[in-house]
C-alpha cells in the first residue's frame, strides 16, 4: 500500500474509533481490521459516482457484517456520497442516519439493511442474480457491474449463508465477490471454540473460486480482486486474514475489540500507534479526501457515458421503466372466473400470476422446490440458469431462508419485481428475511400455499396454526387471504401495486366455490381489506371470515336466518388494509354495538382486536392432526355448526 493508502485506511480507523467512543456503543474491531481492504476496494475497483448513488449500473457494495457499520459510514463520508461529519458524530443516536447497523433508505450508498448475520450475504447473491438477468436482457452495454460484499466469521456460521452460497455456486455468478474478514475472533473468543472447519474448502466444494491473502497487504488485496474479476464462471471468495482491532496495543486480535468501545485511553494509544493525532477527534485530512476523490471526474464520466448509451439504445426506455419500480397492472388481462366453478386459490393464483407475467416482463421468481404444488412456474419462460440467464423462473431449491433474502436482494438491486413461494408452514424458515423485507419497505411478493389444516394428511408438521397471525405481527407486511378465484386475482393485483412493503398471499390447497358476484359485491372490494359480503337490514350478529372460512360464514348465516337471527357476513381478506381505512368505513363494516364472531382455520389469538372481549372466535388453538382436511376441520371445531353455536351464544349474551 502507498503512504496515501495507509493514511486513508487509518482515517477510516480514526473515524470509526471516535464515533463508537462518542456513542459509548458500537463495534470498532471490524472497521479497524478491514480498513485496508475497504481502501483498496473503494479507491481501485468499486465503480460508483458519488453524485448519483442510485446509478443503476453502479457496482453494489454490501456490508453483511452490519455491526461494522462505521466502516461503511466512513467510506460514504470520505467519498462524498453521503453523510457529513455531524452525521458520524451522531452515530447510534435518535434520528441519526448512522444507525447502529446500516439501514437501507437512511442515506444514499446504503444498499441494504444488515445486522442479522448472513442476510447481507444472501442479499448480495440476489443482487448478482438481478445483474445477470438484466445483462442477459439488455446486453453488457447497458448492464455490466459487480456485486461486492464483506462478511465475517459470524456470517460464515449462519445457515442462510450456506444456503445462499450453494445457490450462487450452482448459478456460477461470476460477478459476485465476497471479501471474508477472516480474523478468527467472535464475541465469545477465538473461533477455535466453535468453528474449525475449512471454510475455503467448503466454498470450493460449492463451486466458488477461492483465494487466501493477507488482508493488510494492499498489493495482495488488489491482486486478489483483479483475479476474482477475471473469473467469470464462478463467484469468488477472498479470505482476508486480518487482525480484529488492528492497531490497538491492548485489544488487537482479541474479542474485547469486537463489540464495545476501546475506551478513551486505548483510543489514544491506538491513534498514536497509527500515526494519528490523539487530541483530534473525527479528523479528515484534506489529502486523504483528495486521494479518495481523485478519480471522481472519471466516475462521473463513466456514469454519463452509460446514460448516453441508454438514451441511444432502443432498449433504453424499457430499462428505465424497469428501474422506475412502477408496474402497469392495468395492462394485465386479469382472469375472471365464472360463478359456481370450484378452484383452489393456489390454482386461480397461478392464472393471475401468468396473466401478470404476460404483461409485466420483469416479474421474476420461483419456489423453494415446490413450484408444482405452489403453481408459481411462469409457463413459456425458461428457468434462470448459467446457460439461460434470461430465465424468469428461479429454481431456489429447498432453501426457504435464502430464497426470501435473495428476493430482497433482487428487489434492492432494482429493475426486477421478485416473488418467492413455498407452503405457508415454511414461513418459519423465512421469517427473518421477510421481516427485513418489511423493515426495508421492499415490495417482495411471498406466495404461501397450503394455508391451513385443510392440508390434511401430511399432518401437524405441515398444518399452519399460528403462522398467519405470526406474519400479521410483522409491521408493514400485508397478509391477503382471498376467499375465491376472483379474489385471488385481486390479491395478486394488490400485491403488485404495493411498492412500500411485502405482501404475503395465503392460498388454499383445497378447492373453493367461486362466489356469484351478481349476488355479492365485486371481488375488487378486498382493496379495502374487509367488506360486507352478505348484509341484512338490522344485523343481530356480524360473522367475520377469511379465505376458505368465508364460505363457512355464509353457510352459517343462512342457518341462523332460518332461526330468526339476522347475520351480516364480513370478508376480512386483509387485516392490514382494513386497518388503513378511515373510521367511517371501518364502522360501516363492523358496526358498534353488534356482537361479532370470527372464523379462521388457525389460532384465535389476535382476533379479539376485531370481535372484542364480548365476541367469539372459532379457530384452532392446538396443533392439527393427520387425516383428510375436511375431517380435521370437523374434529377440531372449524365447521358451520361451531360458527352457528358461537353466533347464538354472543347474541344471547349480548
Active site residues: 400
| CA terminus-to-terminus distance, the chain | 80
Distance in angstroms (rounded) separating the CA atoms of residues 418 and 542: 38
Show the cell assigned to 374.
405452489
Phi first, then psi, for residue 504 (nearest 5°) are -105, 120
Structural contact between residues 359 and 333, judged by C-beta atoms closer than 8 angstroms: yes
Half-sphere exposure of 184 (CA within 13 A, CB side): 12
Strand ranges (E), 246-387: 342-344, 363-367
Pairing label, strands 185-186, 189-190: antiparallel
Distance in angstroms (rounded) separating the CA atoms of residues 629 and 510: 8
CB atoms within 10 A of CB 562: 7
CB atoms within 10 A of CB 308: 11
CB atoms within 10 A of CB 217: 16
Strand ranges (E), 313-403: 342-344, 363-367, 393-395
Show the cell assigned to 487.
379474489
Longest dimension (CA), the chain: 90
CA dist list (Å): 187 to 115, 192, 260 = 14, 12, 10
Distance in angstroms (rounded) separating the CA atoms of residues 621 and 618: 10
Pairing label, strands 236-241, 363-367: unpaired
Nearest CA to 214 among 234, 193, 235, 243? 243
Distance in angstroms (rounded) separating the CA atoms of residues 130 and 134: 6
Amino acid at each position: 500500500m502507498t503512504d496515501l493508502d495507509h493514511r486513508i485506511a487509518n482515517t477510516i480507523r480514526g473515524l470509526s474509533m471516535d464515533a463508537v467512543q462518542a456513542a459509548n456503543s458500537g463495534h470498532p474491531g471490524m472497521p479497524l481490521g478491514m480498513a485496508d481492504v475497504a481502501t483498496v476496494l473503494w479507491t481501485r475497483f468499486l465503480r460508483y459516482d458519488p453524485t448519483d448513488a442510485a446509478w443503476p449500473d453502479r457496482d453494489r457494495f454490501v456490508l453483511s457484517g452490519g455491526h461494522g457499520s462505521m466502516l461503511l459510514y466512513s467510506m460514504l463520508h470520505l467519498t462524498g456520497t453521503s453523510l457529513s461529519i455531524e452525521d458520524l458524530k451522531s452515530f447510534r443516536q435518535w434520528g441519526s442516519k448512522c444507525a447502529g447497523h446500516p439501514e437501507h433508505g437512511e442515506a444514499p450508498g446504503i444498499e441494504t439493511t444488515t445486522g442479522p448475520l448472513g442476510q447481507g450475504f444472501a442479499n448480495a447473491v440476489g443482487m448478482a442474480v438481478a445483474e445477470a438477468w438484466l445483462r442477459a436482457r439488455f446486453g453488457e452495454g447497458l448492464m455490466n457491474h459487480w456485486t461486492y460484499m464483506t462478511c465475517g466469521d459470524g456470517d460464515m456460521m449462519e445457515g442462510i449463508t450456506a444456503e445462499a452460497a450453494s445457490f450462487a455456486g450452482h448459478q456460477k455468478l461470476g460477478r459476485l465477490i465476497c471479501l471474508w474478514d477472516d480474523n478468527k475472533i467472535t464475541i465469545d473468543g477465538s473461533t477455535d471454540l466453535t468453528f474449525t472447519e475449512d471454510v475455503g474448502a467448503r466454498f470450493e466444494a460449492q463451486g466458488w473460486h477461492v483465494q487466501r491473502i493477507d488482508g493488510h497487504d494492499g498489493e495482495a488485496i488488489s491482486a486478489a480482486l483483479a483475479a476474482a474479476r477475471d473469473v467469470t464462471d464462478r463467484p469468488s471468495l477472498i479470505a482476508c486474514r486480518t487482525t480484529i482491532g488492528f492497531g490497538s496495543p491492548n485489544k488487537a486480535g482479541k474479542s474485547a475489540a469486537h463489540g464495545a468501545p476501546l475506551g478513551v485511553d486505548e483510543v489514544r494509544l491506538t491513534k498514536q500507534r497509527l500515526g494519528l493525532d490523539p487530541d483530534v477527534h473525527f479528523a479528515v485530512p484534506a489529502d486523504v479526501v483528495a486521494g479518495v476523490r481523485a478519480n471522481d471526474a472519471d466516475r462521473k464520466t463513466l456514469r454519463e457515458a452509460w446514460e448516453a448509451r441508454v438514451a441511444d439504445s432502443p432498449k433504453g426506455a424499457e430499462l428505465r421503466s424497469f428501474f422506475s419500480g412502477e408496474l402497469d397492472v392495468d395492462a394485465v388481462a386479469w382472469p375472471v372466473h365464472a360463478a359456481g366453478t370450484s378452484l383452489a386459490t393456489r390454482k386461480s393464483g397461478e392464472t393471475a400470476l401468468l396473466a401478470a407475467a404476460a404483461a409485466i416482463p420483469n416479474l421474476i421468481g420461483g419456489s423453494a422446490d415446490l413450484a408444482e404444488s405452489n403453481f408459481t412456474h411462469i409457463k413459456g419462460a425458461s428457468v434462470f440458469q448459467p446457460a439461460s440467464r434470461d430465465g424468469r423462473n428461479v429454481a431456489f431449491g429447498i432453501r426457504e431462508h435464502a430464497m426470501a433474502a435473495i428476493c430482497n436482494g433482487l428487489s434492492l438491486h432494482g429493475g426486477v419485481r421478485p416473488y418467492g413461494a413455498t407452503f405457508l408452514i415454511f414461513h418459519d424458515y423465512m421469517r427473518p428475511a421477510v421481516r427485513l423485507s418489511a423493515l426495508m419497505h421492499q415490495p417482495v411478493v411471498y406466495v404461501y400455499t397450503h394455508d391451513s389444516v385443510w392440508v390434511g394428511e401430511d399432518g401437524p408438521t405441515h398444518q399452519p396454526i399460528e403462522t398467519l397471525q405470526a406474519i400479521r405481527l410483522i409491521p408493514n407486511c400485508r397478509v391477503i387471504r382471498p376467499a375465491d378465484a376472483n379474489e385471488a386475482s385481486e390479491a395478486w393485483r394488490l400485491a403488485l401495486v404495493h411498492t412500500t412493503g411485502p405482501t404475503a398471499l395465503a392460498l388454499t390447497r383445497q378447492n373453493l366455490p367461486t362466489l356469484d358476484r351478481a349476488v355479492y359485491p365485486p371481488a375488487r372490494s378486498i382493496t379495502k381489506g374487509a367488506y360486507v359480503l352478505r348484509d341484512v337490514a338490522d344485523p343481530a350478529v356480524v360473522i367475520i371470515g377469511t379465505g376458505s372460512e368465508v364460505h363457512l360464514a355464509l353457510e352459517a348465516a343462512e342457518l341462523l336466518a332460518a332461526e330468526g337471527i339476522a347475520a351480516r357476513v364480513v370478508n376480512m381478506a386483509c387485516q392490514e388494509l382494513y386497518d388503513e381505512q378511515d373510521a367511517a368505513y371501518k364502522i360501516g363494516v363492523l358496526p358498534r354495538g353488534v356482537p361479532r364472531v370470527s372464523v379462521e382455520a388457525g389460532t384465535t389469538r389476535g382476533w379479539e382486536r376485531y370481535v372484542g372481549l364480548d365476541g367469539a372466535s372459532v379457530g384452532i388453538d392446538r396443533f392439527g392432526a393427520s387425516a383428510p382436511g375436511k375431517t380435521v376441520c370437523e374434529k377440531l371445531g372449524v365447521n358451520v355448526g361451531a360458527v352457528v353455536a358461537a353466533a347464538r351464544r354472543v347474541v344471547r349474551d349480548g
